[in-house]
Amino acid sequence: NPSANVLLALDQNNAVVGMASVYVWETMPGKKAFIEDVAVLEENRGQGIGKELTLRLIKIAREKGARHIDLTSHPSRVIANRMYQHLGFEKRDTNVYRLKF
């Protein structure tokens, strides 16, 4: 998928310890970006890996011309939500809908 950008975080043994993705696509008003699946292995959390992955995703979205970048994060992910807010993401008051198949 040309709109997908996936990053992997590797440890010193080249084992994957984290991953994240950003999707950038064209819409009528301009390019949009959405961050998905920022994940770090539990034993590797607290080392700044999620933050570094997110910063790199932001850079990719900017370089591809996105007007803004969105993400969702479950309220139970307190540390992750705090990190996103620290990086400048603002919590939006919105309705999120899902249609299950």
Can you tell me whether residue 76 is helix, strand or coil?
coil
Q: Tell me what the pLDDT averaged over the chain comes to.
A: 95
Report the distance separating Cα 38 and Cα 54, nearest Å: 7
* Residues 22 and 60: beta-carbon distance below 8 Å: yes
pTM of the model: 0.91
- The residue with greater pLDDT, 8 or 93, is 8
Strand partners, 24: 33
Side chain identity at 20, as an amino acid letter? A
pLDDT digits (tens, 9 = 90+) for 34-43: 999 999 999 9
Find the mean pLDDT for residues 3-21: 97
Q: What confidence tier does 51 reach under pLDDT thresholds 50, 70, 90? A: very high
47 DSSP 8-state letter: S
Contact 22, 53 (CB under 8 A): no
